[in-house]
């Protein structure tokens, strides 16, 4: 009988421990590791100073579900710029100075674009909605430069649901 209680106690302890570990991973542990990765990821882009005649209006580095549907983590690092330099020169400047491995995207806000999937902005990245739809209009910003690694396994991070 006593052994039975000990066994039940061990099983209950394992269940409680497992649930506690799950919650800790969901809220803190995995987000912590993701944040470390995000820092390294964003440094690929944000270390490049803006060229002449170019003003950095805003920047963001974010992890979470930022496109499509379902459970996945997307890493995004983006710069909102207002530039008076011709398009080929800006793109050459950033391409020449970019040493990262992720693909570098240039999104010229005032150029014609096909609408995004699901009635979102043409980049299909929700996080950029505010810049594309609002902030670019109030500030005169005309370019978003970003790197995006999308649809990676969510790894029980609460931001990637």
Partner 1 sequence: MITDPQSLNSYSYAGNNPITQSDPTGKFWWKEFYTDWNGYNGISGLEMKAGEVLGGRFAAQDAIAANSGNIANSSAQTGVSPSVYQAIMYEENSHQLPPFGGERAIENAFPGLPSGGVGVMQVSSKTSGGLSNRMLLNDKTNVSVAGSILQEIQSTHGSNLATMGAYYNSGALGPTNAHAASYGQRVNSYANTNLSPTLGDRVVRTTASNMTNMLSSLSPALTSLGSVIKSISK
Contact residues for partner 1, defined by CB under 8 A:
25, 30, 64-72, 116-120, 123-127, 129, 150-156, 158-161
Interatomic CA distance for residues 129 and 67, integer angstroms? 11
Q: Which is nearer to partner 1, 48 or 76 (CB)?
A: 76
- Residue 143 Cβ vs partner 1, minimum distance, rounded to whole Å: 19
Q: Which is nearer to partner 1, 46 or 155 (CB)?
A: 155
- Residue 76 Cβ vs partner 1, minimum distance, rounded to whole Å: 12
Q: Are 55 and 80 in contact (CB under 8 A)?
A: no
Q: Where are the beta strands (DSSP E) in 91-152?
A: 104-108, 143-152
Q: Which residues of 54-77 are buried (b: 16+ CB within 10 A; e: fewer)?
A: beebeebbbbbbbbeeeebbbbbb
- Residue 106 Cβ vs partner 1, minimum distance, rounded to whole Å: 15
Q: Which is nearer to partner 1, 12 or 47 (CB)?
A: 12
Q: Are 143 and 108 in contact (CB under 8 A)?
A: yes
Q: Which is nearer to partner 1, 83 or 127 (CB)?
A: 127
């Amino acid at each position: 009988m006593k052994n039975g209680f000990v066994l039940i106690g061990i099983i209950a302890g394992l269940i409680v421990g497992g649930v506690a570990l799950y919650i800790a991973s969901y809220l803190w542990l995995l987000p912590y590791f993701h944040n470390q990765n995000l820092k390294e990821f964003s440094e690929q882009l944000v270390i490049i100073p803006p060229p002449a005649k170019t003003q950095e209006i805003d920047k963001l580095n974010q992890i979470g579900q930022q496109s499509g549907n379902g459970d996945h983590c997307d890493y995004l690092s983006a710069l909102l710029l207002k530039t008076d330099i011709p398009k080929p020169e800006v793109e050459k400047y950033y391409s020449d100075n970019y040493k990262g491995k992720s693909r570098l995207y240039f999104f010229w806000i005032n150029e014609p674009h096909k609408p995004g999937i699901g009635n979102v902005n043409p980049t299909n990245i929700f996080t950029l909605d505010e810049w594309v739809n609002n902030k670019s209009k109030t500030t005169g910003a005309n370019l978003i430069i970003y790197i995006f690694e999308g649809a990676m396994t969510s790894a029980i991070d609460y931001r990637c649901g």
